Structure 1
Amino acid sequence: MKKAFIAILVLIIAVMSFVGCSKEEEVSGDNSLQEIKDKGYFVLGLDDSFPPMGFRGEDNEIVGFDIDMAKEVANRLGVELKLQPIDWDAKVMELDNGNIDVIWNGLTITEDRKEKIGFSTPYLNNRQIMIVGADSEIDKKADLDGKLVGVQMGSSGEEALTASEEADSIKEIVKYSNYTEALLDLKAGRVDAVVVDEVVGRYYIAKKPGEYKVASENFGSEEYGIGFRKTDQVLLQEVDTILEEMKAEGVTTEIAEKWFGDDAALK
């Protein structure tokens, strides 16, 4: 009788443990990582005119620092990476609608964005700088008084400029779909300055020596992160773990040196 009682007790405990696990899984309801592994790929949403983070190379293939980072992460996840160019101003909608799995393309971490999406651990430092023509007298933020200033729609540069003390004194904030158009207009004299991510701005300047320069003042420092749906915490945590491994192994430094010449911008 005693043996039978013990056997029944063990069975009850086992059943309760199983039920408890099932309830825990049901409460979490986060199959984001497994869904990626099951379909065999994850879709990266990006602005494909954002060098050196993600842009079209000479053969029209999408390349860049973030692309190389994402390829390594996908490889370690055991899945394929698919690249999906998007309207940057609609990036959160694209993510929420399931058209992409992550936003990974020089995405600045801001308090406003944190309310809408989840972020990975920051992986890169950045600043919002002012680029002006090589002969421009604009050097300080106060010099933007009465000027036309270009930004990319939906960018952290637009947010920083709009929130600045100088915003009210600017004649007009001209919005572009990408920085290529903004800098072409700067060269043509249709705007007086462009507020742009430093990693992007300095890349453009290096490609066009003598055409542009960086003003001495900027609109603040920031950090880049990868954007996820708020419900996809398991996927986010796995990617964070992989990024830590890549950094510890020196892989991230190798990729940074390829695109930036050094790893000074890395977190």
Structure 2
Amino acid sequence: MKKKILLFMTFLAFFGLLAGCSDNKKSVAQQANTADTWSSIKKRGRVIIGLDDTFVPMGFRQKDGNLVGYDIDLAKAVFKQYGIKADFQPIDWNMKETELRNRTIDLIWNGYTITPAREKQLMFSRPYMANRQVLVTKTDQNITSFKGMKGKTLGAQTSSSGASLLDEHPAMLKNYIKDKTPVLYDSFNNALMDLDANRIQGLLIDSVYAGYYISKEKNPDSYRITRGGFDGEDFAAGMRKGDKTLKKKIDQGLQNLANTGELQQINKKWFGNSDNSLIQPEK
């Protein structure tokens, strides 16, 4: 009889633990959707921004290890207005939304594309830059359209908006490539090295990255950028749905930078005369 009671108590404890785990998960999700953390961020004087530190030119490591990039400069300039230091935390890009939900970071700010799927999970700042997915190939491959990738190997970054577009619109590009499956990379750097070595014949990549990377090459004419049919996309900072004050502060901070001309200076520093900014000075 004692054994039966002990067994019954063990079952109760086990199912109680499962229920507790479920409640904890609900609690984390509920807090992410309701808690406004601006006062906490303001009190500690710093905001933690998650990023992929290989995403040139938005946020990346130089040879000396320093973290630089367009989004680095932009985020620092926004939070400087509020006396808050922007700290940048490299993360597994495949786990970015989980990192945000679990509060290990306060923001995702790293060439982060607004998509309907992402809008279900989090909240975005106002869009600040236009971007689109383009196909980069070597000129000597004579690939001038998405159809030109028929039977050839395509690279893409894991969990990128480009990888998502491939799945969402397979008729545009995915159905043409070898095995109808791209080679997925953790970073664009590795993908571009494979492109140069002809291990892949095409790379689906953000136009801002492609333009910056190719402009820095010794022989930029050896690359071809093909736009294809994918729609344009906008970059914005992603945050938890409860952080409404944080969103207001970022949105106003971006507009202030446009009004003072500092936004235009940051754009010129990283993209020269190519201006993809979506924020114009107020009249």
TM-score bracket for the superposition, by shorter chain length? 0.7 to 0.9
- In 2, are the aligned partners of 1:30 and 1:234 still within 8 Å (CA)? no
Q: For the residues of structure 1 that align with 2:98 and 2:226, how far apart are their CA atoms?
A: 34
- Deviation, structure 1 residue 211: 3.7
- In 1, are the aligned partners of 2:131 and 2:234 still within 8 Å (CA)? yes
Q: RMSD value over aligned CA atoms? A: 1.5
Paired position in structure 1 for 2:184: 175
User: Residue type of the partner of 2:216?
Assistant: K
Paired position in structure 2 for 1:189: 198
- Deviation, structure 1 residue 31: 3.4
Runs of 4+ in 1 over 6 A off after TM superposition: none
User: Residue type of the partner of 1:256?
Assistant: N
Moved more, 182-191 or 257-266: 257-266
Matched residue pairs, number?
240
Residue 55 of structure 1: SS of its match in structure 2? Answer: strand
Residue 189 of structure 2: SS of its match in structure 1? Answer: helix
Q: Aligned ranges for residues 39-188 of structure 1 at < 5 Å?
A: 39-164=44-169, 165=171, 166-171=173-178, 172-188=181-197
TM-score norm. by structure 1 comes to 0.86
- Deviation, structure 1 residue 162: 2.0
Q: For the residues of structure 2 that align with 1:30 and 1:128, how far apart are their CA atoms?
A: 34
TM-score norm. by structure 2 comes to 0.81
Cα 1:194–1:124 change in 2 (3 A) is: same
User: Residue type of the partner of 2:252?
Assistant: T
Q: For the residues of structure 1 that align with 2:162 and 2:224, how far apart are their CA atoms?
A: 17
Q: For the residues of structure 1 that align with 2:228 and 2:176, how far apart are their CA atoms?
A: 17
* Structure 2 gaps, min length 5: 1-32, 279-283
Residue 214 of structure 1: SS of its match in structure 2? Answer: strand
Q: Aligned ranges for residues 207-226 of structure 1 at < 5 Å?
A: 207-208=216-217, 209=219, 210-215=221-226, 217-226=228-237
Q: Which has the higher strand share?
A: 1
- Deviation, structure 1 residue 215: 2.2
Moved more, 202-211 or 230-239: 202-211
- Deviation, structure 1 residue 262: 2.8
* Structure 1 gaps, min length 5: 1-27
Q: Tell me the percent identity.
A: 38
Cα 1:145–1:163 change in 2 (3 A) is: farther
- Deviation, structure 1 residue 188: 0.9
- In 1, are the aligned partners of 2:133 and 2:227 still within 8 Å (CA)? no
Q: Which has the larger radius of gyration?
A: 1
- In 2, are the aligned partners of 1:88 and 1:154 still within 8 Å (CA)? yes
